[in-house]
Amino acid sequence: MAQGNNYGQSSNGVADESPNMLVYRKMEDVIARMQDEKNGIPIRTVKSFLSKIPSVFSGSDIVQWLTKNLSIEDPVEALHLGTLMAAHGYFFPISDHVLTLKDDGTFYRFQTPYFWPSNCWEPENTDYAVYLCKRTMQNKARLELADYEAESLARLQRAFARKWEFIFMQAEAQAKVDKKRDKIERKILDSQERAFWDVHRPVPGCVNTTEVDIKKSSRMRNPHKTRKSVYGLQNDIRSHSPTHTPVPETKPPTEDELHQEIKHWQMQLDRHRLKMSKVAESKEPGQQRVKRWGFGMDEALKDPVGREQFLKFLESEFSSENLRFWLAVEDLKKRPIREVPARVQEIWQEFLAPGAPSAINLDSKSYDKTTQNVKDPGRYTFEDAQEHIYKLMKSDSYPRFIRSSAYQELLQAKKKGRNIPIFPCHKNCTPTLRASTNLL
């Protein structure tokens, strides 16, 4: 594999002599020798059950090569050196997110030079969101999100809610490009991209080798790094250098300049609020918006039209009381404290009291705890009952809604450019439920 000689250089061609770069160079020199066709580690394609694993080598191969070629007498020392190189992402296990070296038959693969740390990567959370979103579209067991990745995706969805549609579209475009690649090439590139994020967003409990020591950074002449996007976007407009850049000297702004700046950003904020209010009031969701309802029940519940369609489906199955109860409890949490006791009794009488007109099914533990909470009413009196109903809908009603002909027709209607009919609220809806269509 061809290796570039310009890594760790500034825009004027001067090599970066920072301690990290010196370490990276030494590691990359060893990696280049490992990949030598004659004297390097033998890379092979291994046959597995009904498939082939391309371009791999074993952990014991690395330890043996380090012992032989670097004159290391102690195998433990060779294993430690190999683990350091794996932690920096120069090679990685193909079936594990933990970047450590094992002296056994575990298969490893070399990282492409594009993702080497000497390229001064400092990826943004938006890049990580695009990557995780793309993984959810590929529907393959080897690309299934781990628990910590799924949690990260949920946090990123909340953080970037206003521009999630753009992130989704970018991920969708990348997924389409990936599908056009050769199967073996796609498998290798997927594993290399995953390993890159295992370095920069490691598994909880693992060491993050990309963290910057604040004290060391403050002692450097040029502590500020440029920021590079994984997918080709340059986020730092000061310089295109992949190394540290000097901070430009700026004079403090005058009072008039501050007033102008405040006025400018206030106008921008007002325009953004107006735009968002129009989007929130829209009753004609686009195809991307309808498709997002299939990402998870939370996506359907936080969209007013999504809630309306989900409720209509539940009404057709005579189980709308679950969603109406959940929405009523959400509304209760936002009520003024003086209205809470009366509203708690209304919810109790409607959904939980003996002979309630819209009785919901609770397990005995949740029901007993809720019964005790009602004696001292508060905004979170129905927390346990709401959580039970949420899990019930998520595991039962929501999957049926996504598989139903009603949702599929909505999706196909938007693909063909037809409008989605907006159904009125069910006659059994309470005033609270009608008001709660503006929740979230």
Using alpha carbons, select from 105, 137, 104, 114 the residue that is nearest to residue 195: 114
What the block records as the tokens of 194 is 């995953």
pLDDT of residue 366 exceeding 60, the answer is yes
Residue whose pair of structure tokens reads 């450019």 in the numeric block:
417
Asked if 259 and 157 touch (Cβ cutoff 8 Å), the reply is no
Cα–Cα–Cα angle for 91, 94, 99, nearest 5°? 50
| Cβ count near 197 (within 10 Å) | 21
Give residue 424's pLDDT. 44
Q: Look up the pTM and report it.
A: 0.49
| Secondary structure of residue 52 in the 3-state scheme | strand
Pairing relation of β-strands 44-48 and 91-93? unpaired
Tell me the Ramachandran region of residue 427: left when phi exceeds 0, alpha when psi lies from -120 to 50, beta otherwise. Answer: alpha
| Each residue's pLDDT tens digit, 119-148 | 876 788 899 999 998 888 875 555 578 888
Using alpha carbons, select from 427, 333, 346 the residue that is nearest to residue 380: 333
Nearest-angstrom CA–CA distance, 21 and 394:
49
| Each residue's pLDDT tens digit, 209-257 | 776 655 555 555 554 444 455 555 444 433 333 334 444 556 777 888 8
| Each residue's pLDDT tens digit, 289-317 | 788 888 888 888 888 888 888 898 998 88
Asked if 46 and 34 touch (Cβ cutoff 8 Å), the reply is no
What the block records as the tokens of 244 is 């540290």
| Secondary structure of residue 6 in the 3-state scheme | coil
Sign of CA dihedral 280, 282, 287, 293: positive
Look up residue 44 and give its DSSP letter: E
Pairing relation of β-strands 51-58 and 91-93? unpaired
Residue whose pair of structure tokens reads 């046959």 in the numeric block:
47
Nearest-angstrom CA–CA distance, 11 and 118:
14
What the block records as the tokens of 413 is 């209607």
Poorest-pLDDT segment among 62-66, 247-251, 405-409 = 247-251
Question: Which residues have CB under 8 Å from 186's CB, separation 6+?
Answer: 178, 179
pLDDT of residue 356 exceeding 50, the answer is yes
Length of the chain: 440
Nearest-angstrom CA–CA distance, 408 and 44:
45
